[in-house]
Amino acid sequence: LEKLVILKMGGSVITNKRIPMAVNLEALDALSVAVSQASTNLLIVHGGGSFGHYYAKQFGLGTELKAVSREGVAKTRSAMLQLNIIVTKILEKQGVYAYSLPPASLVGFGRVAAHGAELLESIMEGGLVPITYGDVLPNHGRYNILSGDSITRMLALCLKADRVVFTSDVDGLYASGNKLVRSIGIRDKFAIDQPDRGLDVTGGMALKLCEAQEIARNGVDVYFVNGLKPERVIKALKGEIVEGSLIRGTRNAR
């Protein structure tokens, strides 16, 4: 497969974090226009924002496997399906033809499904854009939330992506003192400045950094850009220099 770029659409970009079950249509539209300008193979993973996180929080679901309320699982799951349909439809409106897959058909039990890579590559060979999302996943009677950031890491490594672009509603990763860190090493550790965790039931920016460094340790460049600034997303998708944070992929440096 030719160059593959994975784009994580952060829930903080595509939804209104302050209003349950509210899409940020303007941002989603603009982001979709940016995506329509990408000329490489693209795979999209989107987050939960005020859809998934809202019910996950309400019913006490988290990243740890737990026996949880059936109502909570069902409501979190259907909220994510609903958001996925909206995202897929808006992309379609901008001429980005996506093939939506529930994450359970691609990943589970801590790994990528046996046919996962073949499935995704088959879709991309036909010129469509596979799209999946963070979700609530089953594991022998218990459930947990698998963040879109973790799915992005799993798929980036399995498919040997060329580049990964994480988008959120801020300009990149911030260290304490509200300092934007433009260049991050694959093993750099720093306290992340993220005052407003709001609804977040996954790991927020700290998980993002962790997953991103694991991706970069496998030789893949990882960009963090503001998804509310489409021109930055376009640049990052192309691998150009852009306002944001960058972790250069470095192989054999473990």
Interface residues with ligand IPE (CB under 6 A) are: 10-11, 47-49, 52-53, 56, 76, 80, 134-136, 145, 147-149, 200-202
Residue number, 4 or 45, with CB nearest to ligand IPE: 45
Letter string b/e over residues 139-156, b meaning 16 or more CB atoms within 10 A of that residue's CB: eeeebbbbbbbbbbbbbb
Shortest distance (Å) from residue 142 CB to ligand IPE? 15
Residue number, 57 or 238, with CB nearest to ligand IPE: 57
Closest CA to 184 of 172, 196, 193: 172
Shortest distance (Å) from residue 223 CB to ligand IPE? 16
Residue type, 128: L
Residue number, 11 or 244, with CB nearest to ligand IPE: 11
Residue number, 196 or 240, with CB nearest to ligand IPE: 196
Report whether 252 contacts 190 (CB < 8 A): no
For Cα atoms 197, 191, 57, give the angle at the middle one, nearest 5 degrees: 20
d(Cα 118, Cα 110) in Å, to the nearest integer? Answer: 18
Residue number, 143 or 230, with CB nearest to ligand IPE: 143
For Cα atoms 166, 68, 66, give the angle at the middle one, nearest 5 degrees: 70
Shortest distance (Å) from residue 70 CB to ligand IPE? 15
Shortest distance (Å) from residue 2 CB to ligand IPE? 27
Shortest distance (Å) from residue 36 CB to ligand IPE? 21
Q: Strand (E) positions, 103-230?
A: 107-108, 111-112, 129-133, 135-139, 142-146, 163-168, 174-175, 179-180, 221-226
